[in-house]
Amino acid sequence: MKRILLAALVPTALSMAGCGSFYAQAEQPEVCIAVPSQTFTLPTGGIAVAPPGGFQDTFSGQVDLGISDALPDFLVNGSPDDHILRFLSLEASITSDSAAANFDWLDDLSLTVSSGGLTEQLAYYGGGMTTGSKVLRVGPLDGRNNIVAYLRNGSMVLTLEGAVAIPAGAQIPSSWTASVKGCFSAKVKKTFQEMIDGT
């Protein structure tokens, strides 16, 4: 059953001049959608330690998020003129026990959303971790983003791509397990009748 996660449904006494239509505003400040844990591998060719000059490689993958499974349809189904769906953050957590499996070797990461020939970059991470961290959180490039137009049939396809750079002599994790979640906010402004009709 779909969870109803509205933080507030606030009627506002805003009437359009000449038509007397009252509007209601509904908002979900944050909802996070988790992707089941997945195991990733690096094509190391059997090398356990990075050779002189280090080890570099690129990666990419897609995640199909069922936004409407977490948010009521009337919040996210409709025109960007009266619907706002914002990307808030991406969080990845490595759950592998191996000490070598951490984000220090992550050189860069880009998160994009695409649909119907349109593509928008939502977040970018430029590397630089040196603490053996197993948690990475990336915020939006533009906090005013509105990605509701990228929804198709209640789902949204996100693409993760980037590069790894493991320094010479460092252990290379042949595989690691990670979980990923994306957080979003949603907002809609409609007439009371539209809310009742579900349009």
- What global pTM score does this model have? 0.79
CB-based contact 44:55 (threshold 8 Å): yes
DSSP state of 82: T
CB-based contact 160:154 (threshold 8 Å): no
pLDDT in tens, the chain (199 residues): 444 444 444 444 444 444 446 667 788 999 999 887 877 776 767 778 888 998 888 888 888 888 888 888 878 888 888 899 999 999 999 887 777 788 888 899 999 998 888 899 999 999 888 888 899 999 999 999 999 999 888 888 899 899 988 889 888 877 788 888 999 999 988 766 666 666 5
pLDDT for position 32: 94
3-state class (DSSP) for residue 133: coil
pLDDT for position 3: 46
Nearest to 122 by CA among 157, 87, 91: 87
Sorted by where each begins, the domain ranges of the chain are 35-182
Distance between first and last Cα of the chain: 21
> What residues have CB less than 8 Å from 7, skipping those under 6 apart?
27, 28, 29
What is 35-182's CATH number, 1.10.10, 2.60.120, 3.40.50, 1.25.40? 2.60.120
Cα distance between residue 21 and residue 16, in whole Å: 6
CB-based contact 192:22 (threshold 8 Å): yes
DSSP state of 17: T
CB-based contact 124:108 (threshold 8 Å): yes
Residue 34 bridge partners (DSSP): 181
pLDDT for position 67: 87
Query: What Å distances lie between residue 176 and 38, 51, 172, CA to CA?
Result: 8, 20, 10
